[in-house]
Amino acid sequence: MRIITAEDNKEFYSKLSQLPYLTTLIPISEGLGKELGTIQKQLRSIDNRQIYHHPSYFHITIKEIGWLGEEIKEENLTEIKDKVEEVASSTGPFFLTLRGLNIWPTVIYAEVQEGREQVRQLHLKMRREPRGYTVADSRYEGEMMHPHVTIATFAVGDADQLIQETKQFETTNIGRMNVDKIWLVKTIPHRVSGKSEERASFLEEIASFPLTGAPGPKLAKADSPGARPT
């Protein structure tokens, strides 16, 4: 696998460093974030050259909307929020489970298992409702949408040892949470590879919307961590 680093996208981050990007997402709970942080710590001990995201960054993208101030104008925000609220009101709360780590050329991520289809349905609704505002699908959207949580972005390409370490977590039960809201946020793309304090402020919440549709199975205790390799 050829690793694609943040440096490879330096021109992209630099060109749009002053423009926030509008996105809808599911925030990861504090308890589940701690479990991901514990895994990060082990990976960092193998290779601390990579970009390990701050816990406040952990999220599952539902649908990207566009650059605020370029593709999206401030006067469009009210209508966009109304559309996101419509999507939220048509969906009930559900369970979400993270299980196993995997790798793309750009990132290390945690897989969504339980709740994957519900996230995809939210994504498909978000493609329909704010039509005319959301950006065109990337190759990984639509039917190819793959719910996940990015925990690290590659900054250095020679990562063979880290990749091998990541494979130890391929079947790890990371934990479970209840999903009862979605967020509309501004993301500041260049901060993903910035200093620690910049990474902590990558996401800026605009509004959150409770999932008020018909609920799924009765919600139970969540944030239950699974066993981790030592």
Is 172 inside a domain boundary?
yes
pTM, two decimal places = 0.88
Total count of domains within the chain: 1
pLDDT at residue 70, rounded to an integer: 80
The Cβ of residue 29 has, within 10 Å, a number of other Cβ atoms equal to 18
Is 222 inside a domain boundary?
no
Q: For the stretch 138-148, what's the b/e string if a residue is b when 16 or more beta carbons lie within 10 angstroms of its beta carbon?
A: eeebeeebebb
Confidence of residue 132 (pLDDT cuts 50, 70, 90): low
CA–CA distance, 82 with 89 (Å, rounded to integer): 10
Higher pLDDT, 211 or 200: 211
CA–CA distance, 131 with 141 (Å, rounded to integer): 15
Report pLDDT digits (tens) over 205-215: 999 999 999 87
Is 221 inside a domain boundary?
no
**What's the start-to-end Cα distance of the chain, in Å?**
26
Rg from Cα positions in the chain:
17
Q: Residue 157 is part of which domain span?
A: 6-210
Is 77 inside a domain boundary?
yes
Is 224 inside a domain boundary?
no
Report pLDDT digits (tens) over 24-81: 999 999 999 999 999 999 999 999 999 999 999 999 999 988 888 887 888 889 999 9
Is 227 inside a domain boundary?
no
Q: Judge whether residue 135 has pLDDT over 90.
A: no
Is 130 inside a domain boundary?
yes
CATH code of the domain containing 189:
3.90.1140.10
Is 91 inside a domain boundary?
yes
